[in-house]
Structure 1
């Protein structure tokens, strides 16, 4: 085998090209080849062979350019190896760590975890994504968890383009929000243990997310300003940052709800000042509360599959029915206006009659010659 003659200097990290003095004979089944050798960012020697010297020269230039930019890494790295390093460097919240981990361990790694990262194509991802044995919405979430790994590989110079770009998935079925009624909220409260009876009332009365509700402290409830301040959430047994910057908010609440909170904490105090706690005074989180919730849903006669999160929809629907604007609803929920409209647009009253009158006035206007 022969390589291009060009001295290699280990101190500079330049690519090596050297001509073999005795090229292999064609009788052995191959002719003259040109080889480029270099060491990647991890110090591991790499090499590529080419039939044409010009192709080898082009590779040499590309390698040297990548080495200068510090973008060259081991092309033999597998998806799982790279993904694990990526996961360890991410500032994920506890629940995000769990969700991303499940996406990788249950779906991505069995499919292509052992494959070299550079060998995975868009067709591979497309076939994998559409064959996932989950609902369309879940498939989208799994793809959204895997995509950032390939995007990071692009930034690191391992691959030129993310194979997750342009992937098409089935659209999830349209699901309109059906808010829980006031009578159902009361039925849930009656079906829960006494120390948790306030929970559905507080969720429906503030619109906070379940994690935000469990992270709520007594000090966050102000009877003077009649507000509840959302500062943190409780996830995975620890206090965690809120979902987004918008999640930090102050929610106005009625006196009746404040009185209910005051009565609750007087009877069920928490060691650490949380509004909700278990029988030992320890704080709760959604995971520990889930089995209690399912029993309460069944006992209250609510539809199977009713979620804790559905009480957030109850709050939003109540604001909309009272005439609140999309901006107001978004602020109270800690969401963007775009997200609020996407989820709740059908809840706002329609202007059908106004539309009919406007079109009729236009069509019946006198014709100007």
Structure 2
């Protein structure tokens, strides 16, 4: 209440002198658009001047980043700074790191433009500039990241329409994923002892070879992602209804060094070593039970018992006892492929191989998505590749013989000689 007894105009703010001698400046702003709750900007200080300085600085920062309407629309790079700050709290560190890199690259091109002056031509120019050095799929992800941010600005009514809506996304031609044929994974795994890779550390060669053979087999036979394989611990090997399998309930991810990375409060993550963290699976659907053969089950337990691995210790480690790194697995994968005389496919293609084999066996869609840990059959189908032999077999079952003539006409192909043309 003002000194003359009249109520202050809404939004003009108030000054509070507290009993302990401190001062507080407070101003009510528009309600939270998501919850409708009242919101206030406050700043405290030991003196009135100190409180005022902090209050003005907070107002200026909110106007700069678009949290509070000001005389000028915020620069796009300032709004991006605020958007990423809020985005960080709702995603995993790896997702944030990727998205932040995309946004920062866009800001180098158009960050100087004010938000309310942003036009479709700015978006097109940004894509043209970035497209000179980026692959089409990566460029499209930059576009998607920028659109996510500007969609939020539209929801906050800082702009009338997201200009990305008026720009066609960068065109991407899907790249074909090469996979091994049905019988080739066995040849790859058998070639591991002959791969000729350099051995480091005190671990026995037989244990090192066995670890890569088992890791590769898990990639093909269980369709486990690399982080899921690296995080495997004995307690995950369970029997359900008498069926041996793996409870895929954790993974290892490279989040960053403790202190350098901010782990959201909702994310369960335990630091293991260096930049590696033990955390939850990729999605809720990724937590699954994957049946495995009795042979693979027995060989995993034989390794666990021989090396005296505890229930909550990693089944696979490097020579120093630290978690397996993807670079080391890729190195040994390529060496094994070369030793087996197989094409150089990437290791993630093993998941594509498994999805394709389940389709080949006519496994129901719900079972295939459950095994793969996908949220929809659409994603599982993206991983599925039909080979000519399986397509021919299916067509042979589906299409009846359309020619009833029992006579067989023998044909002979005669190659023309050079003299025939003279």
C-alpha RMSD of the superposition:
3.8
SS of the aligned residue for 1:247 comes to: coil
Asked if residue 308 in structure 1 is aligned to residue 308 in structure 2, the reply is no
What is the CA–CA distance in structure 1 between the aligned matches of 2:111 and 2:190, rounded to whole Å? 48
Cα deviation for residue 295 of structure 1 reads 4.7
1:203: which partner in 2?
219
Task: Go from structure 1 to structure 2 and tell me whether the alpha carbon gap of 1:311 and 1:71 turns closer, same or farther (over 3 Å shift).
Answer: same
Unaligned runs of 5+ in 2: 1-8, 14-26, 30-54, 198-207, 255-275, 404-422
Structure 2 counterpart of 1:112, from 104, 110, 113: 110
Task: Go from structure 1 to structure 2 and tell me whether the alpha carbon gap of 1:288 and 1:185 turns closer, same or farther (over 3 Å shift).
Answer: closer
Work out whether residues 246 and 334 of structure 1, in 8 Å CA contact, stay in contact via their aligned partners in 2: yes
Cα deviation for residue 334 of structure 1 reads 0.9
What is the CA–CA distance in structure 1 between the aligned matches of 2:61 and 2:111, rounded to whole Å? 24
Work out whether residues 297 and 303 of structure 1, in 8 Å CA contact, stay in contact via their aligned partners in 2: yes
Cα deviation for residue 186 of structure 1 reads 1.4
Unaligned runs of 5+ in 1: 1-6, 15-38, 48-66, 361-369
The one-character-per-residue Cα deviations of 1:265-320 (angstroms, maximum 9, x if unpaired) are 3344557512211222222343564455455555554434x222111122222222
What is the CA–CA distance in structure 1 between the aligned matches of 2:28 and 2:218, rounded to whole Å? 63
Task: Go from structure 1 to structure 2 and tell me whether the alpha carbon gap of 1:208 and 1:9 turns closer, same or farther (over 3 Å shift).
Answer: closer
1:275: which partner in 2?
315
Q: How many residues in Structure 1 have an aligned counterpart in Structure 2?
A: 308
What is the CA–CA distance in structure 1 between the aligned matches of 2:144 and 2:324, rounded to whole Å? 29
2:285: which partner in 1?
246
Cα deviation for residue 152 of structure 1 reads 2.1
What is the CA–CA distance in structure 2 between the aligned matches of 1:325 and 1:144, rounded to whole Å? 33
1:87: which partner in 2?
84
TM-score (norm 1): 0.70
Structure 2 counterpart of 1:221, from 237, 249, 265: 237
What is the CA–CA distance in structure 1 between the aligned matches of 2:152 and 2:135, rounded to whole Å? 27
Work out whether residues 217 and 274 of structure 1, in 8 Å CA contact, stay in contact via their aligned partners in 2: yes
What is the CA–CA distance in structure 2 between the aligned matches of 1:261 and 1:218, rounded to whole Å? 9
Counterparts of 1:1-369 in structure 2, within 5 Å, are: 10-11=12-13, 43-44=59-60, 72=69, 75-89=72-86, 90=88, 91-105=90-104, 107-131=105-129, 132=131, 133-165=133-165, 166-175=167-176, 177-179=178-180, 181-187=184-190, 189-190=192-193, 191=195, 193-194=208-209, 195-223=211-239, 225-236=243-254, 237-268=276-307, 272-286=312-326, 289-304=329-344, 306-335=345-374, 336-344=376-384, 346=386, 349=391, 351-353=394-396, 356-357=399-400
What is the CA–CA distance in structure 2 between the aligned matches of 1:225 and 1:311, rounded to whole Å? 23
What is the CA–CA distance in structure 2 between the aligned matches of 1:325 and 1:169, rounded to whole Å? 35
What is the CA–CA distance in structure 1 between the aligned matches of 2:11 and 2:247, rounded to whole Å? 62
What is the CA–CA distance in structure 1 between the aligned matches of 2:125 and 2:369, rounded to whole Å? 37
My pick for the range that moved more, 107-116 or 74-83, is 74-83
SS of the aligned residue for 2:96 comes to: helix
Task: Go from structure 1 to structure 2 and tell me whether the alpha carbon gap of 1:218 and 1:110 turns closer, same or farther (over 3 Å shift).
Answer: same
SS of the aligned residue for 1:100 comes to: helix
The one-character-per-residue Cα deviations of 1:321-342 (angstroms, maximum 9, x if unpaired) are 2231232211100111111123
Which has more helix, going by share of residues?
1
Work out whether residues 252 and 279 of structure 2, in 8 Å CA contact, stay in contact via their aligned partners in 1: yes
Task: Go from structure 1 to structure 2 and tell me whether the alpha carbon gap of 1:40 and 1:73 turns closer, same or farther (over 3 Å shift).
Answer: farther
Task: Go from structure 1 to structure 2 and tell me whether the alpha carbon gap of 1:329 and 1:94 turns closer, same or farther (over 3 Å shift).
Answer: same
